[in-house]
Amino acid sequence: MVNLAAFASGRGSNFSAILTYLEERSLPAHYAVLVSDRAQPACAEIALAKGIPFLHLNPKTFASPDEYAARLLRELESYGVEWITLAGYLKMIPALVVQRYAGHILNIHPALLPLFGGPGMYGEHVHKAVIESGMKVSGATVHLVDEVYDHGAIVLQETVPVHFEDTPETLAHRVLEVEHRIYPRAVELAVLGKIRIHGRRVEILP
Ligand code: GRF
């Protein structure tokens, strides 16, 4: 069994989609812990219902970023975590954690990276920027996490059309359906050892 950690700040629909996928396919992986910077996010209810431990760690309550990172690493170690999945986690992952879990942290972004990523590009802001750009396609990206926001190597992407009538809400809804399809698939590839990194390019092994 591969032990996973989820980091989430909000509703957790991606976390939920991955959980369902792992269960339905009887994949050799399970969530050992859900970590959040918030005390009572909606995603904690999902964890509770599945008996997954919930850990509230607010970076602001630590004396320094290094103390926060050290605590996170101790917790992840204690749960035997091999892969971290970020799912709507709104805080930066400390560099020490990124280094320790290099190539073993996945994130989902609701646009086609490397476009429409980086600081401030989250939630509705992303879809608003896509619509205003005039682009006819958007989509979702699952990528490995490095020390630069929304920058790591791309694992999976899928596109959706952008319609003239779209609002950030309607586009977000269309993109979310794709997120729920490709994120579980990327986690499956990760736990089955089918992701091979070549610099910025990712090879998906058969
Ligand atoms: C998703 O749109 C994801 O792409 C982004 O944050 C949102 C999280 O949604 N990183 P949910 O909490 O998984 O429902």
pLDDT > 70 fraction of the chain, expressed in percent and rounded: 100
* Residue where the block lists tokens 């920027």: 129
The finding on whether 14 has its CB within 6 A of some atom of ligand 1 is yes
Q: Can you give the pLDDT at residue 135?
A: 98
User: pLDDT value at position 204?
Assistant: 98
- Distances, alpha carbon 156 to alpha carbons 20, 25, 108, 200, in Å: 19, 19, 9, 13
User: What is the best residue among 31, 176, 181, 187 to mutate for testing ligand 1's pocket, by most ligand atoms within 8 Å of CB?
Assistant: 176
Task: Report the b/e string of 1-18 with b at 16+ CB within 10 A.
Answer: ebbbbbbbbbebbbbbbb
Active site residue 109: yes
Q: What is the pLDDT of residue 70?
A: 98
Number of C-alpha atoms within 13 angstroms, CB side, residue 203?
6
Identify the three-state secondary structure at position 201: strand
Mutate to test the pocket of ligand 1, among 7, 9, 13, 18 (most ligand atoms within 8 A of CB): 13
What are the structural domains, with CATH classification, of the chain? Answer: 1-101 (3.40.50.170), 110-141+148-206 (3.40.50.170)
User: Please, which pLDDT band fits residue 141 given cuts at 50, 70 and 90?
Assistant: very high
State phi, psi for 143 to the nearest 5 degrees.
Answer: -135, 160
C-alpha closest to that of 143 among 94, 105, 172, 179: 105
Write down the pLDDT at residue 18. 98
pTM given for the model? 0.97
Residue 33, beta-bridge partner list: 5
Residue of minimum CA distance from atom 1 in ligand 1 = 88
pLDDT in tens, 69-128: 999 999 999 999 999 999 999 899 999 999 999 999 999 999 999 999 999 999 999 999
